[in-house]
């Protein structure tokens, strides 16, 4: 029989044994099986759930840099422009590469045209990671619904490890944030958050709420506490 060595929502560090036995399953990239033992690879919060009669463990990361994965939606900052590609800061140890083929649907001739016409240094973009294997920088695309240059809103930087907590289980936290503030919120996997709010006060309340989530990510009952915090701030500011 399998045995889980920790409790739901315990904090573990790299090397901690989370479970033993083949009857326990795990999901996500932050755990690894060594023989009969399932071991934590990062510092994070353990979640335990039951699926098809088996216990499944996973970890919500609390620290660590963003490592790209194919399919991730990221917010990038154009840092440099080459002849046929853009270098993109994606808040990662790896620099994103956006080729002209992943932006334009027409032929491009660098002898007579400039990439600056389409995206310039300092522009923020919403992009998808097409491929990444750690042997070369991740390839990005802005082809797809909703992707491309970001023309409005503000960017908030958060720890990538806090992204799952800001989104919440089945979107519970982010949906609450939008409902209580009236702001539009898009959380990218690389720890950048795009917000578009009806007023400056509501944007400030939203930012303070996100910072509260970052600080208290390991605690229980956080969604309700953040909701009450937003309502109190709105009462205090009269918005």
Residues 83-95: what's their mean pLDDT?
92
* Mean pLDDT, all residues of the chain: 92
Q: What are phi and psi of 123, to 5 degrees?
A: -75, 140
Q: How much is the pLDDT for 52?
A: 80
Q: Is the pLDDT confidence value at 222 over 80? A: yes
Length of the chain (residues) = 239
Q: Is the pLDDT confidence value at 166 over 80? A: yes
Number of domains composing the chain: 3
Give Cα 39 distance to the centre of its chain.
23
- Which of the listed residues 93, 122, 149 is the one where a domain comes to its end? 149
User: Percentage of the chain surpassing pLDDT 70?
Assistant: 99
- Which of the listed residues 124, 149, 174 is the one where a domain comes to its end? 149
Measured between alpha carbons, how far is residue 179 from residues 121, 166, 171, 206, 220 in Å? 34, 14, 12, 11, 21
- Which of the listed residues 128, 149, 170 is the one where a domain comes to its end? 149
User: Percentage of the chain surpassing pLDDT 90?
Assistant: 69
pLDDT tens digits along 186-206? 999 999 999 999 999 999 999
Asked if 136 and 184 sit in the same domain, the reply is no
pLDDT tens digits along 107-125? 888 888 889 999 999 999 9
Rounded Cα–Cα distance for residues 154 and 54 (Å): 43
Structure tokens at 45: 């919060």
pLDDT tens digits along 30-43? 899 999 999 998 88
* CATH at 123: 2.40.50.140
State the pTM of this model: 0.75
What would the DSSP string read from start to end of 146-210?
T-EE--SSEEEE--GGGHHHHH-GGGHHHHHHHHHH--EEEE-TTSEEEEE-SSHHHHHHHHHHH
Going by pLDDT thresholds of 50, 70 and 90, the confidence category of residue 1 is low
Q: How much is the pLDDT for 190?
A: 95
Residues 201-229: what's their mean pLDDT?
94
Q: Which domain holds residue 116?
A: 73-149
Q: How much is the pLDDT for 106?
A: 87
3-state DSSP percent of the chain in helix, strand and coil, to 5 = 25, 35, 45
Q: Is the pLDDT confidence value at 135 over 80? A: no
Q: Is the pLDDT confidence value at 234 over 70? A: yes
Q: Is the pLDDT confidence value at 51 over 90? A: no
Note whether residue 67 is domain-resident. Answer: no
Structure tokens at 221: 């009952």
Q: How much is the pLDDT for 22?
A: 83
Residue of 112 and 90 predicted with greater confidence: 90
* CATH at 36: 2.40.50.100
DSSP secondary structure letter of residue 138: P
Q: Is the pLDDT confidence value at 134 over 80? A: no
Measured between alpha carbons, how far is residue 142 from residues 53, 76, 85 in Å? 41, 11, 13
Burial category of 239 from C-beta neighbours within 10 Å (exposed 0-12, middle 13-18, buried 19 and up): middle
């Amino acid at each position: 029989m399998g045995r889980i060595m920790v409790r739901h929502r315990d904090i573990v560090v790299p090397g901690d044994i989370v479970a033993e036995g083949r009857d326990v399953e795990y999901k996500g990239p932050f755990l690894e099986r060594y023989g009969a033992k399932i071991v934590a690879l990062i510092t994070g919060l353990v979640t335990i759930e039951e699926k098809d009669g088996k216990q499944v463990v996973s970890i919500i990361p609390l620290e660590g840099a963003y490592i790209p994965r194919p399919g991730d939606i990221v917010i990038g900052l154009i840092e440099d422009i080459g002849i046929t590609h853009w270098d993109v800061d994606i808040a990662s140890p790896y620099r994103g590469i956006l080729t002209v083929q992943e932006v334009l649907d027409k032929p491009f001739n660098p002898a007579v045209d400039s990439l600056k016409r389409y995206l310039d240094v300092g522009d923020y973009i919403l992009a998808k990671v097409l491929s990444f294997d750690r042997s070369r920088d991740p390839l990005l695309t802005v082809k797809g619904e909703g992707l491309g240059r970001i023309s409005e809103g503000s960017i908030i930087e958060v720890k990538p490890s806090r992204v799952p907590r800001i989104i919440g289980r089945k979107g519970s936290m982010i949906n609450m944030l939008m409902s209580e503030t009236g702001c539009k919120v898009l959380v990218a996997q690389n720890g950048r958050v795009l917000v578009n709010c009806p007023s400056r006060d509501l944007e400030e309340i939203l930012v303070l709420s996100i910072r509260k989530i970052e600080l208290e990510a390991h605690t229980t009952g956080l969604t309700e506490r953040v909701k009450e915090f937003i309502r109190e701030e709105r009462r205090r500011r009269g918005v």
